[in-house]
Chains A and B, each alone.
Chain A
Amino acid sequence: MTNLLYKASIVTTPTAYGVGVLNSIKPAYALGENLITNGNFATDSDWTKGSAWTISSGVASFDDTSNSSLSQSISFTTSKSYKISFEITSGSGSIAFLSSNGATTYITYATYTVGVHTVDFKYTTGVGLSIFASTFLGGAFSIDNVSVVEITDADFDFTRASSATRVNPDYLIETVSINSANLVQNGNFSEEGSEQVVNGDFATDSDWSKGTGWTINGGKLLSANSAQYVSVNQNILGVTLGKTYKTTINVSSISGGYIVKFGSSGTIYTLSLGLNTINAVWDGTNNGLAIYNNTSSVGNITIDNVSVKQVDPNDNWTLGGVAEFGNNLVHFESNSNTYSYIRQDISSLSNSKYKIQLEVKNYVSGACQVGFSGSSPILINLNITSNGIYTAIVSSNSNGDDLEISREYTGGNFNFDITDISVIEIQENGVPRLDYTNGTASILLENQSTNLIPYSNNTSSYSKANITATDNFTTSPEGQINAAKLLTTSTGQCNIKTSFTAAAGNYTGSIFLKKQDFDFIYVELGGAYAWFNISTGATGNSGNYGSDWTFLSHSVESFGNNWYRCIITGNCINAGGYNFRSMQPVSSNGSYNSNLNNGTTFWFGCQLEALSYATSYIPTSGQSGGVTRAAETLNNAGNSDLINSTEGVFYAEISALANDGTNRCISLYDGTVNNRLTLLFGSTNNSIRALIKSNNASTFDATHIVNSTLNFHKIGVKYKENDFALWIDGVEVATDSSGATPIGLNALTFDTGNGGQNLYGRCKSVAVFSEALSDTELACLTSTNNREIFLNYYYRMQYVGANTEALSCAEQTFNI
């Protein structure tokens, strides 16, 4: 495969992704030549100018007198992607980019300010690029360095309108997400404004009004035997009443009672030897800062430096109630439970989750809540009890963008400080899943499914018979202390169960279990039942009772650290109310009774789906009707340059999630189902099929049955006029020596070509070759080499947490 990679035009493996995109590793992200002539406006030429446009001094300028276009003809190619780059050098403008001269085929429309901007788009129709400036929202502006280049990547568009979980590289279950940078400004309150004091270091004898006994000498401010109220002062011109300032006064010697006062009637603060730091609202009636002896006895003082700087100079924070800035923190203290808060406008909140984190310092009492304010604020009690870092996950608030940290009412009087506040947007929707189940990465694509159990990981709502449950007892497959301990309180039948309403059809229940005392667990889904050995990960007996259900299957999946996911599937014949008995510890396979009082089993992640197989874990936390993970799509990669319609090879290493009787496709196509090469898991169990259509006529259609499509298979389809072949796992399983090739292939999609029959499964690799490879190359491409075998073993052993003291022996010995 390594040697063949240079021949591939598209290669995608589970490596990189973003929100709504799965990146391919080949072709490397590349841009074509600049299609714009005179994009730097060096001369007044090559562009067609509307009445409001001029070209001069190396820029094109729009004077905002009328809606007007600046355009240039470009030869775009249909279905290719392009990137427009430009720089607004002055002003701001409402600009529409159109892919035709003056027509209304919009690429994008937005308001742009000074700076460099880019716009990516896929060309559909038109004859050129038009920069259409509007007088509606923007104003006059100048634009420079306009370029248009073709984007030659083969990245996929990805969609999923919900969150979803995966097994991450640490082999822990997690909700996939992409986090933003910290959205909070000045979260540690360390920002300070400019110096407001003139000659605060007393370098010269100036700028200060000195009363009798005050002198400035040798870089110091001195008072010798100064009388009461005789001051030195300076009018601090830059301060604003009501704003908080950090004042520092370094006192190198002192006797007597000296104070500093801000404004003529402001609060006074007593000075002491050393560095005095005062964070205070400038609450006097004027700007004067005065220092004087506030006692009737004469005093002496030497001051080295005076400084006044505004705290939170950019006014990022709004303080309410008794909240006040301190030294790199905000202090909350009230003996009357006064509603107090700090707020910051977090603009452009999206429909996401946000992680709000802060540090509590100097905690004495009270409660603190965080969230987003507005007419219907969403605020979560952090349950602070001591100093430390606290975190909350908060949904965005549609009626207000202000982050709020405030005292929580039920906490009563309060006294604590907060600092180091951060807000991270957690984007979960539309994030592809690189899943490491069994240790090696694959792209996981699943259909929509709902966990019908409202509380997947909270045992309080479950019925228990001779079982006591302790939630959040031990480390779960998520790596968090959130798995429950289930303890038998007698011998005999001990179980935990939850009720559900079933329609006629297939249901699959699953539960993560870890052995402490019992090897065997009995699980019952409606009238279907099965035993599982959670010591060895083996399935036990199974069956069904009564006539309401038929047992279909049961299986066990290892999740490492001795956790096993036990899965049972049954068919509900008669709709009605039933129970999912997710854990009943028993003495042996086939037994219904526990043989041990005070025996422990660990329990996590209960899931019930109306499917014939279990899908990835869907956490629920009380949602009525459960939680739904949306269906996933992956499509729109590549273009006609990367996909040769005349000849080539389409390769994929994929596995199915189940034999569910459906077609699950991955295709090269022309945007329709008429010209395509489709690889699919067929509706027949364990079938792999290759289907090629040219002008809607089937020219190659081959199906091969493998041992199990639940295992990965390396599949290659060679296409060339009158020369077609299907290779699976190193073996040519079908050929056809007649037929035409598809026409106009220009994209790769994980469906049949019309958005249906999506490939729900796992994909380790997909590649497109622009030439028909030789049989030797195809055999090599679709075979598994020794190194790969060993690495698969290595990763699986890491995943299951095996003792791997002799893995090198497998590597050495496995010389096949």
Chain B
Amino acid sequence: MATPSLAMIPSAYADSKVYSVLPNNGDGDFTFDRASTATRVGQNGLIETVLTDIPRLNYDISNGVVQSCPSLLLEPASTNLVPYSQTFTGWSLTNAVETPNALISPDGNLNASKIVTSATGLDVKYTNIPVAANTVYTYSFYCNYVGGLGLQGRFYDNTNGANIEYYDYMNQIEEGKWKRVTRTFTTPSGCSNIQIWYLAASSTFPVTAYYWGAQLEALSYATSYIPTLSGAIQTRAVETCNDAGNASTFNSTEGTFFIKVNYINTTESFRISISDNTSNNKIILATLNNKYYYEVRAVDASISASILSNIPQTTNEVLLAGTWKQNEFKFFVNGTKIGEDTLGNSPNGLDTVRFNNLSTNQPFYGRARDIRVYNEALSDAQLTVLTTL
């Protein structure tokens, strides 16, 4: 198979920089930006904080095993609305006993709290979290379950004096292991302040578990952990990763664009593009209408190819490849040719790969494992091999 003109395998980085394997002269390196610290899962499987503008090579944990190769984690801005995310400072406990610093937490430090319930009617709650009404929130926390039954969570609407919901998270935890529990809910109309509860509804006592890393975000999904150690809410800034390549890197006449990624959710549209830094000439591998999508625009922003798969967008790893050539455009997903367009112009002046559409439009959020651009349109057989998991 041909050698890519640009290839980024997340493997090396520096302040504001994600390095590409090809080209070797540095023209294909990405410029990275994040105006805050952030956390990642490091090589040792522990959550750690990285400094401002340091890209995150995140090591996923699969079935309890830290994966040897990282992905480039890119996330939107998000704020953890829960103060003191690693302790129960400010929480009220009824019929429950907290032992702070009782277990090694997911960040590798002895800073997880142990909660033991002693009677029915227990509750562990944080009673004052300002929120916006009619807004989707996701609450997440790390739980290491010891024993007992009936662990539940609850969100309570202080404004309206009513429950938002109870939920059972027993199916998200596992005895003796740290698991991240996530729950997404929508605040009711008029709701401006809520309570967050941990409950034990079972009559079998005691119920024991360790807790760490509480996080409430105004998103429909949980993002990486944002510590709020000082009691104040904390915001992780948005991440951008763009401007790889130049006019010498790419062949506008024909080529192949390949990505291997996990999207951060199943609903939003995300785009990774090669373009001339305008909308006139652009090649996009994307999600659209909860499906995988390939689009080529040439010369005057006219669409040369627009191929939408019928494969539902997931957060699982997906391999997408699109080719361009005069009157020959193909789209492959996970080893299958999705579609082909035999009429259209090639773009001109391609000079940059961006983890978005243009500017800040429809950015990619998720985990990227492999980005490549070839200066030739690969064959169907090659594309099948390239995009097969």
* Interface residues as binary, B341-372 with A (CB distance below 8 Å gives 1, 0 otherwise): 00000000000000000000000000001100
Residue in A438, A784, A802 whose CB lies within 8 Å of B17: A802
List of A residues within 8 angstroms of B29 by Cβ: 537
B21 touches A803 (CB 8 A): no
Write the residues of chain A forming the contact surface with B, with a CB cutoff of 8 angstroms.
438, 535-538, 558, 562, 707-708, 710-712, 730, 783-784, 789-790, 792-793, 796-797, 800-810, 812-814, 816
B1 touches A816 (CB 8 A): yes
Given contacts A800-B19, A802-B19, A816-B3, contact A793 B69 (CB under 8 A): no
Whole-angstrom distance from the CB of A32 to the nearest CB of chain B? 41
List of B residues within 8 angstroms of A538 by Cβ: 31, 243
Chain B, 2-20, CB within 8 A of any chain A CB:
2-4, 7, 9-17, 19
Whole-angstrom distance from the CB of A681 to the nearest CB of chain B? 15
Given contacts A538-B243, A802-B19, A809-B70, contact A796 B24 (CB under 8 A): yes
List of A residues within 8 angstroms of B31 by Cβ: 536, 538
* In the assembled complex, B248 has its CB within 8 A of some CB on chain A: yes
Chief secondary structure at chain B's binding surface: loop
Whole-angstrom distance from the CB of B334 to the nearest CB of chain A? 17
Minimum CB distance partner of B53 in chain A: A535
B11 touches A804 (CB 8 A): yes
Whole-angstrom distance from the CB of A656 to the nearest CB of chain B? 12
Residue in B21, B69, B248 whose CB lies within 8 Å of A790: B21
Whole-angstrom distance from the CB of B26 to the nearest CB of chain A? 7
CA of A789 to CA of B25 in the docked complex: distance in angstroms? 12
B12 touches A803 (CB 8 A): yes
A805 touches B17 (CB 8 A): no
List of B residues within 8 angstroms of A438 by Cβ: 24-26
* Interface residues as binary, B26-38 with A (CB distance below 8 Å gives 1, 0 otherwise): 1001010000000
* In the assembled complex, B128 has its CB within 8 A of some CB on chain A: no
Minimum CB distance partner of B250 in chain A: A707
CA of A796 to CA of B68 in the docked complex: distance in angstroms? 22
CA of A4 to CA of B7 in the docked complex: distance in angstroms? 28
* In the assembled complex, B76 has its CB within 8 A of some CB on chain A: no
CA of A707 to CA of B252 in the docked complex: distance in angstroms? 12
List of B residues within 8 angstroms of A562 by Cβ: 14-15
* In the assembled complex, B384 has its CB within 8 A of some CB on chain A: no
CA of A535 to CA of B26 in the docked complex: distance in angstroms? 15
A536 touches B16 (CB 8 A): yes
Among B2, B23, B57: residue with most chain A CB under 10 A: B23
Given contacts A710-B25, A789-B21, A790-B21, contact A812 B13 (CB under 8 A): no
A804 touches B23 (CB 8 A): no
Whole-angstrom distance from the CB of B355 to the nearest CB of chain A? 15
A789 touches B22 (CB 8 A): yes
B24 touches A803 (CB 8 A): no
Minimum CB distance partner of B246 in chain A: A708
* In the assembled complex, B43 has its CB within 8 A of some CB on chain A: yes
Cβ-closest 7 pairs across A and B: A809-B69, A810-B11, A802-B12, A806-B11, A810-B9, A707-B248, A708-B248
User: What are 15 A-B interface contacts by the 8 Å CB criterion?
Assistant: A535-B16, A536-B16, A536-B31, A707-B249, A730-B3, A789-B24, A790-B21, A796-B19, A796-B24, A802-B13, A804-B12, A806-B57, A806-B70, A808-B11, A816-B3
B25 touches A711 (CB 8 A): yes
List of A residues within 8 angstroms of B370 by Cβ: 813
Minimum CB distance partner of A790 in chain B: B21
* Interface residues as binary, B236-280 with A (CB distance below 8 Å gives 1, 0 otherwise): 000000010000110000000000000000000000000000000
CA of A273 to CA of B37 in the docked complex: distance in angstroms? 72
Given contacts A535-B16, A805-B57, contact A810 B25 (CB under 8 A): no
B13 touches A809 (CB 8 A): no
CA of A783 to CA of B1 in the docked complex: distance in angstroms? 12
List of B residues within 8 angstroms of A802 by Cβ: 12-14, 17, 19
Minimum CB distance partner of A795 in chain B: B24
B24 touches A800 (CB 8 A): no
Minimum CB distance partner of B375 in chain A: A707
B19 touches A797 (CB 8 A): yes
CA of A813 to CA of B70 in the docked complex: distance in angstroms? 11
A807 touches B12 (CB 8 A): yes
List of A residues within 8 angstroms of B10 by Cβ: 806, 809
List of B residues within 8 angstroms of A813 by Cβ: 9, 69, 369-370
A796 touches B26 (CB 8 A): yes
Minimum CB distance partner of B16 in chain A: A536
A809 touches B68 (CB 8 A): yes
